[in-house]
Amino acid sequence: MFINGAWTEASTQNHFDVINPATGDVIGSMPDGNAEDAKAAITAADDAFADWSATTAFKRADILMDAWQIMNDRAADLAELMTEEQGKPLKAARFEVGYAADFIRWFAEEARRLSGQWLPSGRPDQRFLSVRQPVGVVAAVTPWNYPISMLTRKMAPALAAGCTLVLKPAEATPLCAKATFDVFTDAGVPAGVINMVTAADPRPIGEVFTSDPRVRKLTFTGSTAVGRTLAAAAGASLQRVSVELGGHAPFIVFPDADPENAAKGAAALKFLNAGQACISPNRLYVHRDAADAFINMLTKRVSGLVTGNGADEGVGLGPLVNEAAVDKVAAQVEDARDKGAGVPVGGQRLTDNGLDRGFFYAPTVLTDVTPDMTVYREETFGPVAPVVVYDDVDQVIELANDTHYGLAAYVYTDSMKTSVKAFEALRFGIIGINDVNPTSASVPFGGMKDSGLGREGGHEGLDEYLETKVAGISLR
């Protein structure tokens, strides 16, 4: 673990293994921390806050720019580590490292743009000054599916704002977190400003994060169930909270769209990271007139995907994270099959050619999907594309909105009018219009309803780590 500028063992001296999900091999171990370690890390962050928050925004920006350069210089090694630890194909891992670096650069630039403002008063002898200051110690909990970019999306704005932090990375991908911390420390982040506690069981760490009065901000990315628990606990301490949670994204193909082009976009997005992405499309709504062409192209694209170890040449789909993930995907597919869904491609666990050592499920297309199927209602987080055929264009937005999630949605249409109307009517935080990559470090990322609170990235991403302070000044 990393506490007060030094790599250290857990207070228990225990460790847990880190597994390659493609091979089942143990590739390393990390300290198995507990509540006492979390408290020690918070103490270090609290002690470092006064000096770090007083550091000029320009100095903080310079350190972040150095971190951006170091991450770019180490991109190849970081990508290889990510593929080994998380499983995604090497090409996708390289892309993620670049995306992670983008957040560091963006918030380095945003640090220099921190400003206040003079505000008017009804009294001629009075002025108001409004400034924004760092909220304090931040507790961050990050997921395994994007094990580097989800760190920088939280760490970079926190540091730019002048906050100190304690990170609890996902227990499945702590080696990527360790390598990311090396980037920041080598860039010159002072001791105590960033701290990391690793643990096989995250619950004791989360309990400390949400109850320690020195923690003034909690940021979490992960499942809706865990996010609800953490946010509820943080509420008792009146901590600032931002949570980026699950999704159940609709993908709407309107009758005027090119169905084959839409199917190519759906295939590229749905099977990214083996479907283990919160913005992954989970309900593909295709008008009946275009259904055959869409399904044929989607099936063709999916049939051509090569599944295997992400380190191997030509592999386009890696493993799921663990056995439980495979079981969940298999259960949803079998439920759909039992209730009448067609399975033109996939639909089974992959065990040939050594894949039985890892957690592989075949890229799958489901047809004739209906609302009574589990896959229609619940996030899959796996390589399954459920196609829902609809008839009424006026009703499809209502169908898409019929979920308690609200993170991402996608629309394919050649009509500007349809695009704008769909954008305005869909109750989701991120809308891709003829675009399967509607994200960037420079734009806000986040959802509505059960998909979370707050935004990451863009100008809003820095605001999450700042408090507003106002001075009333008498000129008498």
Q: What are the catalytic residues?
A: 244, 278
Helical H segments across 339-427, by residue range: 374-377, 393-401, 416-425
Residue 1 burial (C-beta neighbours within 10 Å; 0-12, 13-18, 19+): buried
d(CA 369, CA 373): 7
Contacts of 354 (CB under 8 A, 6+ apart): none
d(CA 129, CA 467): 14
Pairing of strands 466-474, 126-134: antiparallel
Q: What are phi and psi of 397, to 5 degrees?
A: -65, -40
Contacts of 91 (CB under 8 A, 6+ apart): none
* Cα–Cα–Cα angle for 469, 474, 475, rounded to 5 degrees: 130
What are the DSSP calls for 167-234, one per residue? EE--TT-HHHHHHHHHHHHHTTPPTTTEEE---SS-HHHHHHHHH-TTEEEEEEES-HHHHHHHHHHH
Contacts of 328 (CB under 8 A, 6+ apart): 380, 381, 382
Long-range contacts for 222-229 (Cβ within 8 Å, ≥24 apart)?
222/141, 222/142, 222/143, 224/405, 224/450, 224/451, 227/452
The secondary structure element, H or E, covering residue 73 is: helix 57-73
- Which SS3 state, helix, strand or coil, does residue 442 take? coil
C-alpha distances in angstroms, 225 versus 81, 199, 279?
Answer: 29, 19, 17
Categorise residue 93: left if φ over 0, alpha if ψ from -120 to 50, beta otherwise.
alpha
